[in-house]
């Protein structure tokens, strides 16, 4: 039989997946009956006291939250029949939001208000609920700007052929990067397949030469390259170190034939566009020891479509440097336990660390920034990987 905490997680998952469809009437997510699990016949015969204790716990939980429990009669010890709870019924989406809490009642209120506005001002929109989901995290100011920009395009669709960049759209009150970051919402409201703006400028990368002979040659140490441009580095790297921290990448110790590249955040498509990076004999990723860092690593392996080595991103490194950790992210927000994502490209040691970092029972810190780890230690790890690959 499940515990109440597990059912609360199930309710949250259903909310996350279907709240917008429920609000818009496309799909009724609630009422819904959540199964509580079925105790075995052996447990009922030999350990009914434990089943009864769980039943009482469920009844207490349900009474406080106004949840109706459904029961079935099961045979217990001594031939007696006992009523055992089988399902918890959640009557409505608002009932679900009240149980889960964590900002959900406010989210539903905001969603209903925005749904009404979208339907009134853009009656041709086919799926207003999907748009409300898309703009759920918009601040009120951004939502108002979305309406203004969509009205601007609808008033004269030919404006989608102005041939300017997203930052050059001449709409009063819309700052330079707004359309660049919110184009999907504008397209959804207007029904325009394209807004006619010029594509963003090509992505660029920044990197540092690590080879000791090159570093004493008087030639430049730091370089950059643009995707699609004709470019070759000063030498074809034997080792590429991808580091998410700019300082770490710039000040990485000397490595024969090495180049350290500043990471691109959540994806590796930009770096994988350069064949001299993608095809280097040794590619090593080094990021923070946290949930996000390991998810980024998983994404890099997918984008490169090859195995990428890592340094200092396993349980052993966590145990060694945990005392340097923090429970706050880069924006100062408290890091909390969360559901794991599908990180199917992590190695076993990395997956073990990942599951530890998202575990609600974790006692240590949830984040260790890579710059807290000595660079000399990282260089030693790189050379060990290189030696293993070379000898293998």
Question: How confident is the model at residue 338, as a pLDDT?
Answer: 85
Task: Tell whether 93 and 110 lie within a shared domain.
Answer: no
Statement to judge: residues 209 and 296 lie in one domain: yes
Instruction: Provide the pLDDT for residue 67.
Output: 95
For residue 154, name the pLDDT band (cuts at 50, 70, 90): confident
Which one, of 78, 85, 80, 79, lies nearest residue 52 by Cα? 85
Of the candidates 37, 92, 44, the residue with the CA atom closest to the CA atom of residue 68: 92
Please say which residue of 68, 100, 132 terminates a domain: 100
Res 196: pLDDT = 67
Same domain for 181 and 292, yes or no, is no
| Shared domain check, 222 and 354 | yes
Q: Is residue 327 domain-shared with residue 362, that is, in the same domain? A: yes
Kindly write down the DSSP assignment for every residue of 1-29, as one continuous string.
Answer: ---HHHHHHHHHHHHHHHHHHHHHTSS--
Domain final residue pick, 67, 100, 133: 100
Q: 337 pLDDT exceeds 80? A: yes
Same-domain status, 261 and 349: yes
- What mean pLDDT comes out for the span 35-52? 79
For residue 195, pLDDT beyond 90: no
In this structure, the answer to whether residues 38 and 131 fall within a common structural domain is no
Using alpha carbons, select from 268, 346, 341, 353 the residue that is nearest to residue 309.
Answer: 346
- Nearest Cα neighbor of 58 from 8, 6, 4, 96 is 4
In this predicted structure, what is the pLDDT of residue 173?
76
Of the listed ranges 156-165, 207-216, 333-342, 344-353, the least confidently predicted one is: 156-165
Asked whether the predicted pLDDT for residue 51 surpasses 90, the reply is no
Say if residue 242 is in the same domain as residue 288.
yes
Q: E strand or H helix at 368, and its extent?
A: strand 367-368
Q: Is residue 306 part of a domain?
A: yes
Query: Does 198 reside within a domain?
Result: no
CA distances from 6 to 229, 234, 375 (A): 52, 56, 42
Res 179: pLDDT: 78
The whole-number pLDDT of residue 336 equals 85
Looking at residue 243, what is its pLDDT?
96
Tell me which long-range contacts 231-234 makes (C-beta under 8 A, separation of at least 24): 232/276, 233/207, 233/209, 233/259, 233/276, 234/209
Is a pLDDT exceeding 80 seen at residue 42?
no
The per-residue pLDDT for 392 is 66
Residues 115 and 60 in one domain: no
In a domain, 195, yes or no: no
pLDDT of 81 over the 80 cut: no
Q: Which of 82-86, 112-116, 237-241, 300-304 has the lowest mean pLDDT?
A: 82-86
Q: Are residues 113 and 128 in the same domain?
A: yes
**pLDDT confidence tier of residue 249, bands split at 50, 70 and 90:** very high
> Residue 196 domain-assigned?
no
- Cα separation, 245 vs 233, in Å, equals 21
Q: What is the pLDDT of residue 19?
A: 96
Clarify whether residues 181 and 246 are in a common domain: no
Q: How confident is the model at residue 199 (pLDDT cuts 50, 70, 90)?
A: low
In this predicted structure, the answer to whether residue 333 has a pLDDT above a threshold of 90 is no
pLDDT of residue 166: 64
Q: What is the pLDDT of residue 267?
A: 76
Number of H helices, E strands in the chain: 16, 11
pLDDT band at 99 (very low <50, low <70, confident <90, very high): very high
Is position 199 within any domain?
Answer: no
Q: Would 235 be classed as within a structural domain?
A: yes
Question: Comparing 180 with 20, which gets the higher pLDDT?
Answer: 20
Average pLDDT over residues 85-104: 94
pLDDT at 78 over 70: no
Domain of residue 167 covers 104-190
| Mean pLDDT, residues 381-388 taken together | 92
In a domain? residue 375: yes
Are 139 and 273 part of one and the same domain? no
User: What's the structural domain count of the chain?
Assistant: 3
Span 194-211, average pLDDT = 82
Q: What is the mean pLDDT of the chain?
A: 90
- Residue 353, in any domain of the structure: yes
CATH number, domain at 243?
3.40.1360
Say what the pLDDT of residue 174 is.
78
Among 100, 120, 141, residue at a domain's last position? 100
């Amino acid at each position: 039989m499940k515990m109440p905490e597990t059912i609360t997680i199930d309710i949250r998952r259903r909310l996350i997946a279907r709240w917008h469809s429920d609000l818009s009437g496309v799909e009724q997510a609630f009422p819904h009956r959540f199964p509580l699990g079925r105790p075995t016949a052996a447990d009922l015969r030999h350990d009914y006291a434990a089943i009864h204790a769980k039943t009482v716990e469920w009844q207490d939980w349900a009474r406080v939250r106004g949840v109706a429990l459904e029961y079935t009669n099961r045979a217990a010890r001594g031939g007696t029949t006992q009523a055992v709870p089988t399902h918890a019924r959640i009557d409505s989406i608002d009932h679900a939001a009240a149980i889960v809490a964590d900002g959900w009642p406010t989210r539903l209120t905001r969603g209903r208000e925005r749904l009404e506005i979208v339907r009134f001002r853009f009656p041709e929109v086919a799926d207003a609920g999907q748009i409300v989901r898309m703009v759920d995290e918009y601040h009120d100011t951004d939502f108002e700007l979305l309406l203004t920009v969509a009205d601007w395009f609808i008033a004269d669709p030919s404006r989608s052929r102005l041939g300017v960049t997203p930052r050059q759209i001449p709409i009063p009150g819309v700052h330079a990067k707004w359309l660049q970051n919110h184009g999907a919402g504008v397209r959804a409201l207007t029904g325009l397949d394209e807004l006619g703006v010029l594509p963003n400028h090509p992505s660029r990368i920044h990197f540092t030469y690590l080879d000791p002979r090159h570093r004493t040659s008087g030639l430049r140490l730091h370089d950059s390259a643009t995707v699609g441009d004709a470019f070759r580095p000063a030498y074809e790297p034997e080792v590429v170190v991808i580091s998410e921290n700019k300082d770490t990448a710039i000040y990485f110790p000397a490595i024969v034939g090495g180049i350290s590249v500043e990471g691109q955040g959540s994806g590796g498509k930009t770096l994988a566009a350069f064949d001299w990076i993608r095809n280097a004999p040794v590619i090593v990723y080094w990021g923070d020891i946290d949930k996000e860092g390991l998810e980024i690593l998983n994404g890099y392996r997918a984008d490169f479509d090859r195995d990428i080595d890592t340094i200092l991103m396993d349980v052993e490194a966590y145990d060694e440097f945990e005392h340097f950790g923090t429970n706050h992210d880069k924006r100062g927000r408290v890091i909390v336990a969360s559901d794991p994502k599908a990180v199917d490209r992590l190695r076993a040691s990395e997956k073990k660390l990942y599951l530890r970092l998202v575990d609600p029972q974790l006692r240590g810190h949830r984040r260790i920034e890579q710059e807290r780890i000595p660079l000399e230690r990282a260089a030693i790890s790189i050379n060990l990987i290189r030696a293993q690959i070379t000898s293998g």
